[in-house]
C-alpha cells in the first residue's frame, strides 16, 4: 500500500513545476467494500482547463474531496499546489437569499481565519468584478439568475490569489445563457494563468470549455490527454444521406474507404485521406442520389464509446 500524503502533512511536497495536480494510485474504498476511486493516476498541467469527465457515480466528486483534504484516501499519493492557493466550488453554491451578493461574499470572507480583514471590501469588489457581477453587487441573492448565482460562487472561490480553481459540475442545472456565462468565465480565468479543474458529466461542455480531459468510468481512469489527442484516437468519418444505400456502399468500397456501414437511409465510412468533394463526384457519376454529405469528426462521446463499448449513461 502506498503512503498517503495529505496537503500540509509532514513530507508533503508540491507537484512538479509543470503540473498543478499529480496523483499516483489514488484509491478510495468505503466501508462495505465499495471502491469509489481505483488506482487513479492524474497529471493536470499548470495553466490548463482540465475536464474531469465521467457519468454520475464514476468517482469524480470523491476524487475532488480527496484532493481538497476533505476525506482521506485508502491508498496512493497525491500532490496539489498549497491549499491556500486553491479555490473550490463543490456541490453547488449556498448563500443567504436575503443578503446582497456583496454582503454574502463579505460573510464568506470573514469565515476565513487566514483572510486579511482590512482588505476584505477591496478583495470582494475585485472578485465581483472578475466574474462580471459588479453591477449586481447590491442586489439580493434571491433575485440572481442561476448563472449569476454560479458566478457568485466562483467569485467566492476567487477571494484570494489562486493557482488552482476546482469546480464540481459548474454548469449543472443552468439554462443555455447561464452555461455560456460560466463557460466564458472559466476561459477568462484560465487565460490569466490559473489552472482550472472542471468536473462534469456533460461531454459537449467539456469539449467546448477544456484544453485537456480525463475520462472516468466506475472509479477508474479510461483515458487522459489533450482534447485534440483524445479525439485523434477515433477516425473522422464521412456520412452520405441517400435512398440508394446499396449503390453508395459499393461506390465507397470501390474508392477504397474503410469501415463502410450502411443503414436504412445513410452510409458512413472512415474518411481517411479522401477528399469529400471527390467522394461526392464519384457517387453522382454512378447515379447515386446524394441528399446530404457531411464530414463527422469524433466527439468525446465517440472516444468514450470506443474505449468502453458503452454509452455515457452507464451507472457508476
> Is the same domain home to 139 and 204?
yes
> Is the same domain home to 89 and 193?
yes
The CATH number covering residue 250 comes to: 3.30.70
> Is the same domain home to 292 and 178?
no
- For residues 60 and 168, the answer to whether their CB atoms sit within 8 Å is yes
> Is the same domain home to 165 and 46?
yes
* Residue ending a domain, choose from 208, 228, 248: 228
Please indicate whether residue 228 or residue 76 has the higher confidence score (pLDDT): 76
Confidence of residue 11 (pLDDT cuts 50, 70, 90): very low
The reply to whether 14 falls in a domain is: no
- For residues 231 and 222, the answer to whether their CB atoms sit within 8 Å is no
> Is the same domain home to 85 and 185?
yes
- For residues 158 and 165, the answer to whether their CB atoms sit within 8 Å is yes
The pTM of the full predicted model, rounded to 2 decimals, is: 0.79
Q: What is the pLDDT of residues 141-180, one digit of tens each?
A: 999 998 899 999 999 999 988 999 999 989 888 888 888 8
The reply to whether 313 falls in a domain is: no
Q: What is the pLDDT of residues 131-144, one digit of tens each?
A: 999 999 999 999 99
Q: Round to whole Å and give the CA distance between 172 and 293.
A: 34
The reply to whether 102 falls in a domain is: yes
The reply to whether 145 falls in a domain is: yes
Backbone angles phi, psi at 246, to 5 degrees: -60, -45
The CATH number covering residue 66 comes to: 3.40.50.300
Q: Which domain holds residue 274?
A: 237-304
Taking alpha carbons only, the member of 7, 111, 10, 112 closest to residue 65 is: 7
Confidence of residue 6 (pLDDT cuts 50, 70, 90): very low
The confidence score (pLDDT) of residue 146 equals 87
Amino acid at each position: 500500500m502506498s503512503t498517503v500524503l495529505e496537503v500540509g502533512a509532514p513530507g508533503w511536497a508540491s507537484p512538479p513545476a509543470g503540473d498543478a495536480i499529480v496523483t499516483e494510485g489514488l484509491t478510495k474504498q468505503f466501508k462495505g467494500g465499495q471502491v469509489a476511486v481505483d488506482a487513479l493516476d492524474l497529471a493536470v498541467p499548470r495553466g490548463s482547463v482540465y475536464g474531469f469527465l465521467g457519468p454520475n457515480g464514476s468517482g469524480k466528486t470523491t476524487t475532488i474531496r480527496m484532493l481538497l483534504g476533505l476525506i482521506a484516501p485508502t491508498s496512493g499519493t497525491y500532490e496539489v499546489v498549497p491549499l491556500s492557493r486553491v479555490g473550490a466550488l463543490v456541490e453547488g453554491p449556498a448563500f443567504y437569499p436575503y443578503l446582497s451578493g456583496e454582503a454574502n461574499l463579505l460573510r464568506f470572507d470573514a469565515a476565513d481565519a487566514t483572510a486579511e480583514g482590512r482588505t476584505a471590501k477591496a478583495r470582494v469588489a475585485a472578485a465581483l468584478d472578475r466574474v462580471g457581477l459588479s453591477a449586481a453587487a447590491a442586489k439580493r441573492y434571491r433575485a440572481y439568475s442561476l448563472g449569476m448565482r454560479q458566478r457568485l460562487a466562483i467569485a467566492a472561490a476567487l477571494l484570494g490569489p489562486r493557482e488552482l480553481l476546482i469546480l464540481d459540475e459548474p454548469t449543472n442545472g443552468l439554462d443555455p445563457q447561464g452555461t455560456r456565462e460560466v463557460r466564458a468565465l472559466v476561459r477568462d480565468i484560465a487565460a490569466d494563468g490559473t489552472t482550472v479543474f472542471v468536473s462534469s458529466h456533460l461531454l459537449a461542455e467539456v469539449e467546448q470549455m477544456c484544453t485537456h480531459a480525463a475520462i472516468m468510468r466506475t472509479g477508474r481512469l479510461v483515458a487522459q490527454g489533450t482534447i485534440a489527442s483524445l479525439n485523434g484516437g477515433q477516425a473522422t468519418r464521412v456520412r452520405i444521406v441517400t435512398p440508394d444505400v446499396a449503390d453508395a456502399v459499393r461506390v465507397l468500397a470501390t474508392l477504397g474507404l474503410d469501415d463502410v456501414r450502411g443503414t436504412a437511409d445513410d452510409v458512413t465510412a472512415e474518411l481517411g485521406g479522401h477528399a469529400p468533394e471527390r467522394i461526392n463526384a464519384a457517387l453522382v457519376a454512378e447515379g447515386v442520389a446524394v441528399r446530404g454529405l457531411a464530414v463527422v469528426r469524433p466527439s468525446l462521446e465517440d472516444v468514450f464509446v470506443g474505449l468502453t463499448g458503452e454509452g455515457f449513461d452507464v451507472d457508476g
